Structure 1
């Protein structure tokens, strides 16, 4: 985690040096302030977009009293405020968390509530609360922000150092995409690691790993059977389940479900 995080900030430092080399050292305060604003806007817009993309609505406490009660108990045990609870029809059994401590939101799909037993649902809720308690959403937005900033910096360096406006424009687009993809490899490595940590914290919170392991098995089967889903690619990074195969594992937000289950039951 420390090594990958250091590499990410090294990318950012290189981008900042590149900008200063082109524009001069006087732009350093602007680079720093602009970066903070950029990540802040990305965080706010990303939270709104994630909730909107799945049509999340407030979860009525009168209809889901047990979920509200368990989230309150688990939140107290993790030392965080009870997050806002929302429910959505995603087309797949899933859940995700957005926000930070004191302003978190947990979204649970109706399909998940119908699929899981109570103790299995507790494991999923604890996993999502662990993401909020560990500030994982903020960390992911920061990583994605660094990737975007580095890509933008690379594009400007190409544009301002070239001598053919049209060719440099297309080259800048290609360079920006390649650089962003490279940085995102490290961001996604962090994401996969944080999933293991959230699983471990959930296991401790509910007193055992088997309920969450069983939930993951059911969710995995439910996702494979689903033909249509309201979960887009950006929200998938926040969900309880999501993985790739082959080379796609390098760009997956989640580790293989089999390894997660093995760790939970180990």
Structure 2
């Protein structure tokens, strides 16, 4: 985390330095304020979009009393406020968390509730609460914001140092996208590492890793059998289960291989 975080910080500083070279040193306050606004907008829009995309609705406590009690107890153990609980029909068994400490939301699919035993569901809930406790969603939004900022800076550098014609315009788009993809590789590496951390925190919170390991096995099987998923790529990055398989897919995946996660949980 320290190494990858340092690399991302270096990318951001290079982008700000490039803007200062092109536009003068007086641009840096505007660059910093713009960066903060960009990250803030991405956070707010991303949270709203994730909940809306799956049709998440408030989870009635009268109907899902066991889940509410589990989350309340786990939240106390983890030292966070109980997040809002929502339920959605996703087409696949899955769950995800958005928000931060004091303003978190955990969304659980109806398919997951039907599939898992109570102790397995508790492991999944502990995993999602760990993401909130560790501010993982905020960390990922900052990383994605840095990738966007660096990509935009690269585009402006190409435009300002060229002839500013149509060829430079298309070149700027290509360069900006390539640079943004390069930075996103490091952001995705953070995402995969945070999944291992959330698994470990969940294992500690529920007193063992086997319930969550069994849950991951069932979720994997359920996703393989599912005919249709309502989860898009953006929300998939937040979910407890990711299904990427190939070498390139693993490099750009938000989740580590589920087999490795299960092995660590049972070790």
Given the two structures, how large is their TM-score scaled by the length of structure 1? 0.99
Structure-1 separation of matches of 2:11 and 2:51: 30
- Give 4+ residue runs of structure 1 displaced > 3 Å after superposition: none
Alignment deviations for residues 204-233 of structure 1 (CA, whole Å, 9 cap, x no partner): 000100000000000001111112111100
Alignment deviations for residues 38-68 of structure 1 (CA, whole Å, 9 cap, x no partner): 1001100000000001110000001100000
Verify the 8 A CA contact 1:130 1:198 in the aligned structure 2: yes
SS of the residue 1:86 aligns to: strand
Residue 167 in 1 paired to residue 185 in 2?
no
Residue 77 in 1 paired to residue 95 in 2?
no
* Cα displacement (A) at 1:243: 3.5
Structure-2 separation of matches of 1:24 and 1:226: 55
Verify the 8 A CA contact 1:92 1:223 in the aligned structure 2: yes
Structure-1 separation of matches of 2:168 and 2:227: 42
Match of 2:90 in 1: 90
Match of 1:117 in 2: 117
Residue 260 in 1 paired to residue 255 in 2?
no
Q: Which runs of 5+ in 1 are unaligned?
A: none
Q: Which runs of 5+ in 2 are unaligned?
A: none
Q: CA RMSD in A?
A: 0.6
Structure-2 separation of matches of 1:265 and 1:134: 22
SS of the residue 1:39 aligns to: helix
Match of 1:16 in 2: 16
Residue 155 in 1 paired to residue 155 in 2?
yes
Given the two structures, how large is their TM-score scaled by the length of structure 2? 0.99
Residue 193 in 1 paired to residue 193 in 2?
yes
Match of 2:51 in 1: 51
Matches within 5 A, 1:210-229: 210-229=210-229
* Aligned residue pair count: 266
Structure-1 separation of matches of 2:229 and 2:162: 44
Structure-1 separation of matches of 2:226 and 2:158: 44
